Amino acid sequence: MPELRKDPIVDRWVIIAKERGQRPHDFKPEPASPGSGFCPFCSGHEGKTPAEVWAIRENGSAPNSEGWQVRVVPNKFPALAIEGGLDRQGLGMFDMMNGVGAHEVIVETPNHDWKVGDATEEELSKVLWAYRERLLDLQKDLRFRYCLVFRNYGQAAGASLAHPHSQLIAIAITPKRVKEELNAARDWYLEKERCIFCDVLRQELAMRDRVVLENDHFAVLSPFASRFPFEVNILPKRHSHDFTTMTDQESVSLARTLRETMKRIEVTLQDPPYNYVLHTAPNAGATAGPPRADRWTTLECDFHWHIEIVPRLTKIAGFEWGTGFYINPVAPEQSTRFLQEAIIVEEETPTLSHPR
Ligand SMILES: [Zn+2]
Ligand SMILES: [Zn+2]
Ligand SMILES: [Zn+2]
């Protein structure tokens, strides 16, 4: 019998069609690499991107030249424009505003063939450091209510370039998905005076059915009502609403956790395309001014930042589109076991230094 499961945080049901009994090798993910050709993100091609806004560089090498380790540039084809006012308008019953925002690309390494699952902790710490620095900088701009960091890997996941990169979009509106989580977390907190994410962590770590891995600082869980096969979330075990407040030690630990999680996904599913998104608190500074609906005053108590990782193994079709329901052919308990059993060789990384 298929099962309907409701996500404990957002109001979303999924169908877990576990009798389909799909195993990892039943999925034939499209090849992750979107082909070769000239790569504007490779070292030596700095002139082919817009001028960099931030970089980690060795030996004081000049901006927009070689010698960088992580490099952030504006997206050459941005979805939003950085200059201008919001200019809200009503067009009859319709709402409009200017497409103001920032759209940046975080080029994670000069190495074209690098993979998160094979990275060193030091390399990944630098990428996480770049996320943090760009978030802090963009949040100074009070037009931007939300900044989303995300990573598309593979053409089927929306990556148009193979070179390892993440993206950051800062936007003047709190996105719907994030708003749903924020509202649900606030309502739970107002009723119980507990963080709903901490409650999920406590219960999952006690039950152990959906814990892919756990260390001192982080837990990697398959959501009870996973929408997609092999979906996992990384959550800090310490309650924290804001990714940018991570300690140096937690940041190194997150690098290790992210690498190990991605390695398990790569090994189990043969290097599938995937997306991950960072859900951190909205821009607190942008909440000044008159009252409005998307302001959350108890954020520090009720929101809990996390990373959602979704391998792109199935396609969203008419039923999902028409209903907002998802059909997941793999029970999360089962995908957890496959990911736990993936044989991975943990590299020893002698240096655990932090880029700060
Ligand atoms: Zn490249
Ligand atoms: Zn919490
Ligand atoms: Zn989330």
Q: Which residues surround ligand 3, an ion (CB under 5 A)?
A: 279
* Confidence at 253, pLDDT banded by 50, 70, 90: very high
Which residues neighbour 57 within 8 Å (Cβ) at sequence distance 6 or greater? 63, 67, 68, 69
pLDDT at residue number 346? 64
Res. 352 pLDDT band, cuts 50 70 90: low
> How many A from CA of 342 to the centre of ligand 1?
29
Q: Is the pLDDT of residue 350 over 60?
A: no
Q: How far is the CA of 27 from the centre of ligand 1 (A)?
A: 28
Q: Which residue has the higher pLDDT, 295 or 168?
A: 168
What are the tens digits of pLDDT across the range 321-330? 898 889 999 9
Confidence of residue 285 (pLDDT cuts 50, 70, 90): confident
Q: Burial level of 332, CB count in 10 A (0-12/13-18/19+)?
A: buried
Ligand nearest to the CA of residue 196, numbered in listed order: 2
What is the Å distance from ligand 3's center to 271 Cα? 23
Q: Which ligand is nearest to the CA of 301?
A: 2
Ligand number, closest to the Cα atom of 34 = 1
- Centre of ligand 2 to C-alpha 260, Å, is 23
Mean pLDDT (the chain) is 92
Distance in Å, CA 287 to ligand 2 centroid: 21
Residue 286: C-alpha distances to residues 174, 243, 244 (Å): 11, 17, 16
Q: Is the pLDDT of residue 46 over 70?
A: yes
Distance 228 CA to ligand 3 centre (A): 14
Can you tell me the mean pLDDT for 1-11?
94
Q: Is the pLDDT of residue 349 over 70?
A: no
Q: How far apart are CA 304 and CA 182, in angstroms?
A: 9
Per-residue pLDDT at 276: 98
| pLDDT bracket for residue 244 (50, 70, 90) | very high
pTM (predicted TM-score):
0.94
**What pLDDT score was predicted for residue 180?**
95
State the catalytic residue, choosing from 103, 112, 163, 165. 165
Contact criterion met (CB below 8 Å) for 319 and 90: no
pLDDT reported for residue 294: 79
Cα(35) to ligand 3 centroid in Å equals 31
Report, as an integer, the average pLDDT of 23-29: 84
Q: How confident is the model at residue 4 (pLDDT cuts 50, 70, 90)?
A: very high
Q: Is residue 239 annotated as part of the catalytic site, yes or no?
A: no
- Among all bound ligands, the one having the nearest atom to the CA of 49 is 1
Q: Which of 127-131, 200-204, 299-303 has the lowest mean pLDDT?
A: 299-303
Query: If 0-12 CB within 10 Å is exposed, 13-18 middle and 19+ buried, where does residue 312 land?
Result: buried
Domains of the chain, earliest start first: 3-341 (3.30.428.10)
Q: How confident is the model at residue 131, as a pLDDT?
A: 98
